[in-house]
Amino acid sequence: MLGFLSARQAGLDDPLHLRRAESTRRVLGLELNKDRDVERIHSNGVNSLDIEPVEGRYMLSGGSDGVIVLYDLENSSRQPCYTCKAVCSVDRYHPDVHKYSVETVQWYPHDTGMFTSSSFDKTLKVWDTNTLQTADIFNFEETVYSHHMSPVATQHCLVAVGTRAPKVQLCDLKSGSCCHILQGHRQEILAVSWSPRYDYILATASADSRVKLWDVRKASGCLITLDQHNGEKSQAVESANTAHNGKVNGLCFTSDGLHLLTVGTDNRMRLWNSSNGENTLVNYGKVYNDSRKGLKFAVSCGCSSEFVFVPYGSTIAVYTIYSGEQITMLKGHYKSVDCCVFQSNFQVRMIPMGI
């Protein structure tokens, strides 16, 4: 540590060098926090978590019970042992509560005044955080598995929605309507994710074993269908132009947007070059995945070596992204883990119990 400080003071090191080194050290030393926990509100499994990007203080959770909870992660009491309290919740008695399981919750990327939720009740809801009332509701014909808003978009307010139908729907928050449909998958859409680098690039994963990259500005839409064999197998082979040999139910871009991670029910995780769609062939070994719906995993940000955190049964497997090395397994839950989120400011893993 003193060496880093001396080099920084002398102007020999980049200002971010110390921060990256310390972030990496903390990730490598992650363990179950014995002094801090989160108030238990949900009566059933937790499907989705999201920490707002403005302060990194407030966290949303969505559960199988249809309930949405907003937590304050800050320790305002300054006590060494404390519980992160629920600030408010959309409980079963709320007039706008989701009827069925909430599959995804997400903060509006630019401020904490709004958040979104989607559910098996075939709706996407836009919420006013201050009043905890719905500002808009989008209704769909099929069950909603996943949705995502771009973290960097300034030219559009599109929400990508994946449903049981083999098409991706784009909802415009400005007009309040479904403005576009992306067609090309053959089965249900289990995961969607906007690029953190480019406003108009969207990745989608489907039960048809395929992952597609789209440019939503173009009429044709689809840019690339990812191929695990990098085009080396004949188009006549059944596995050609497939990303996995099973359902693809998880997507996550790296923090710089240059690569895309996917997980499938073939118990594999793959790393792709997001510009040309090339399978980088990084071997992560067996990545256990028996989820029947979307699997939400997370990546680190600001470390010297970046890491990926993947629900693995009742644990979280931690891998180095670019080498594929499994660093550790985070243990502490007694049942299946469905999702996790990374709090980059403090290198904290928020991991809820699944079903």
* Spatial distance between the Cα atoms of 171 and 160, rounded to a whole number of angstroms: 7
Answer with the residue of higher pLDDT: 334 or 321.
321
Give 232's pLDDT tier (boundaries 50, 70, 90). confident
The least confident of 10-14, 147-151, 165-169 is 10-14
Q: Which domains does the chain have, with CATH numbers?
A: 35-353 (2.130.10.10)
Give 16's pLDDT tier (boundaries 50, 70, 90). low
pLDDT at 102 over 90: yes
Answer with the residue of higher pLDDT: 77 or 208.
208
The least confident of 9-13, 32-36, 76-80, 321-325 is 9-13
**Region 156-174: what's the mean pLDDT?**
95
**Phi and psi of 112, rounded to 5°?**
-95, 10
- Whether 49 contacts 66, CB under 8 Å: no
pLDDT at 239 over 70: no
The angle, 0 to 180 degrees and rounded to 10, between the axes of the packed helices 15-28 and 2-9 is 160
Answer with the residue of higher pLDDT: 234 or 298.
298
DSSP 171-185: EETTTTEEEEEEE--
- pLDDT number for residue 75: 83
- pLDDT number for residue 220: 76
Per-chain mean pLDDT for the chain: 89
Answer with the residue of higher pLDDT: 286 or 22.
286
- Whether 251 contacts 262, CB under 8 Å: yes
Answer with the residue of higher pLDDT: 16 or 316.
316
- Distances in Å between the Cα of 219 and the Cα atoms of 85, 180, 309 are 47, 10, 35
The least confident of 164-178, 227-241, 327-341 is 227-241
- Whether 123 contacts 138, CB under 8 Å: yes
Answer with the residue of higher pLDDT: 274 or 11.
274
pLDDT at 235 over 70: no
pLDDT at 348 over 90: no
- pLDDT number for residue 349: 46
- pLDDT number for residue 2: 47
* 3-class state of residue 167 by DSSP: strand
* 3-class state of residue 44 by DSSP: coil
- pLDDT number for residue 243: 97
- pLDDT number for residue 355: 46
- pLDDT number for residue 264: 97
Answer with the residue of higher pLDDT: 65 or 80.
65
Answer with the residue of higher pLDDT: 55 or 147.
147
**Region 124-144: what's the mean pLDDT?**
96
- Whether 182 contacts 222, CB under 8 Å: yes
Question: How confident is the model over 272-322, as pLDDT tens digits?
Answer: 999 999 999 999 999 999 888 899 999 998 888 899 999 999 999 999 999
* Spatial distance between the Cα atoms of 105 and 100, rounded to a whole number of angstroms: 14
pLDDT at 97 over 90: yes
**Region 134-148: what's the mean pLDDT?**
96
User: CB count, 10 Å around CB of 177?
Assistant: 12
Residue closest to 122 by CA, chosen among 101, 148, 141? 141
